[in-house]
Structures are given as C-alpha cells and as structure tokens.
Amino acid sequence: NRDGDDSGDGDSSNPVISSDGRFVAFASDASNLDDALTPDTNDSRDIYARDLQIGTTTLVSVNRDGTGSGDGSSRFQVISADGRFVAFTSNASDLDDAGTLDTNDFQDVFVSTIPTVVQGRSVYRFIIGLDPGDFSTPGRQGALENKVNEVLANIQAGDLINICEAIDKLTNDILPKTDGETPPPDWVTDPIAQEIEEQIIALIAALQVEATTLGGCP
C-alpha cells in the first residue's frame, strides 16, 4: 500500500515490466496504492505503474481531470521496452485528455506516458509530506501543491505544448521558489530546499527528453 506497511486492499495481477527493469505496470482492485493519494472512485480494476527506482506507485488509468480513477474498469496492460508508455483497454469514458467523447459503449484502448508522470507525482508526494514549519510562511505549502498539480495536469496531457509549458513552470516559477539560492524569502527552508531542488531538476531533465522526442520546445 501507499504507506508501505502492508499489501494493497485488493487483488493485483498480470504484471509487465520494462526492459530496463525500472517500471512495472499491473492491474489491481486495490484502492490504497497510489502515492499521490489520487482517489480510487470507480470500485473497479485499475492500471498502476510502479517505479522501482524511486519507489512510487502511480494510478495510470486516471481520469482526464486527475481527480480520481476512470469511471470504468481497465485491464490488459502492456508496457513499452523503455517503460515510457503503458497501453491498456478500458470501459471508462473519461480518460482521454483531449476530451474526445466515448460514444461506443465498448472497451477502448488508451496509452499513457509513465515516467514523467511518476516523477511529477513523486515531487507532489514529497511536498504534501512536509511539515508546515518547512515553509517560510503559512499557506505556501498549499500554494506549492497547487503549482505542482498544474504541472502534473500538463504532463498528463502528454502533447508537446503541455510538456513545454510544464518545463517553463518548473524552471521559471517553481524552482526559483524552492532552490534555496534566490534572494530571500525562499518558500522552502533549508535543508528541505536542496531535496526539492534535486527532484525538480531531475523532473525538468526528464521532461526535456520527452519534449525532444516530440519535436522539441520552440
């Protein structure tokens, strides 16, 4: 489970692993696996990805708003050799980030980008786990959570425009507030700032690779 103190509260099955051994995608009925605390709202089987390198589990079959699982069951997942993509079938009608209507009342096939989503949610999980005293003033923890959530929405959209927007937000807005190097008051106090800075820089680097694959940011 997300707390690391027990197994999930439902069956999990059919794991598939990326060629480098980093990512494992699997189907599960459990509702307590996602590290970003994304609610499991469908009481059905969902698709998850586990990053064995950074130790996070992410709901793959998340709805387009990022507020919960899709409104139908998902299964039959496969993962690309590099672990970048997970494809799966689903009865859900609210997964497509472009808002394309599901009008056929049948299972459809979806593809989700994994590594940057996992890394982004790892940053979010780290921030929500901090103490209020780790921030320079009250309210900045919530504000930072909101900013990272906006970046996650961009990453989940997966197209070049949104990936480039995520890079811009991280580089020019979030990082300067959390790197401990800009003139005070920085939003986050040391030594927490250094930990957040390392995670954000790693996420920016991963997103830049993704952007290059998609054609490169203007």
pLDDT digits (tens, 9 = 90+) for 161-203: 999 999 999 999 999 888 776 555 688 887 788 888 888 988 8
**Assigned token pair, 49:** 């990805």
Region 69-90: what's the mean pLDDT?
A: 92
Model confidence band, residue 103 (pLDDT cutoffs 50, 70, 90): confident
Region 42-69: what's the mean pLDDT?
A: 85
Q: Does position 97 have pLDDT exceeding 80, yes or no?
A: no
Q: Does position 122 have pLDDT exceeding 90, yes or no?
A: no
Share of the chain above pLDDT 70, in %: 94
pLDDT at position 193 is 81
pLDDT at position 37 is 65
pLDDT at position 183 is 59
pLDDT at position 184 is 58
Task: Yes or no: say if 110 and 90 are a contact pair by the CB < 8 Å rule.
Answer: yes
Q: Provide Rg for the chain, Cα atoms.
A: 17
Region 95-121: what's the mean pLDDT?
A: 80
Distances (CA, A) of 12 to 9, 96, 144, 150: 9, 24, 33, 30
Region 35-57: what's the mean pLDDT?
A: 81
Instruction: Give phi and psi for 179, each to the nearest 5.
Output: -90, -5
Region 82-101: what's the mean pLDDT?
A: 84
SS3 content of the chain, % helix, strand, coil (to 5): 35, 20, 45
**Assigned token pair, 127:** 């921030």
Region 124-141: what's the mean pLDDT?
A: 86
Q: Which of 47, 31, 30 is CA-nearest to residue 39?
A: 31
pTM tops 0.85, yes or no: no
pLDDT at position 39 is 74
pLDDT at position 115 is 64
Determine the Cα–Cα distance for residues 193 and 35; give it in Å rounded to an integer.
21
Determine the Cα–Cα distance for residues 9 and 32; give it in Å rounded to an integer.
7
Region 117-133: what's the mean pLDDT?
A: 82
Task: Supply the mean pLDDT for the chain.
Answer: 86
Beta bridge partners of 130: none
The most confident of 75-89, 107-121, 123-137, 187-201, by mean pLDDT:
75-89
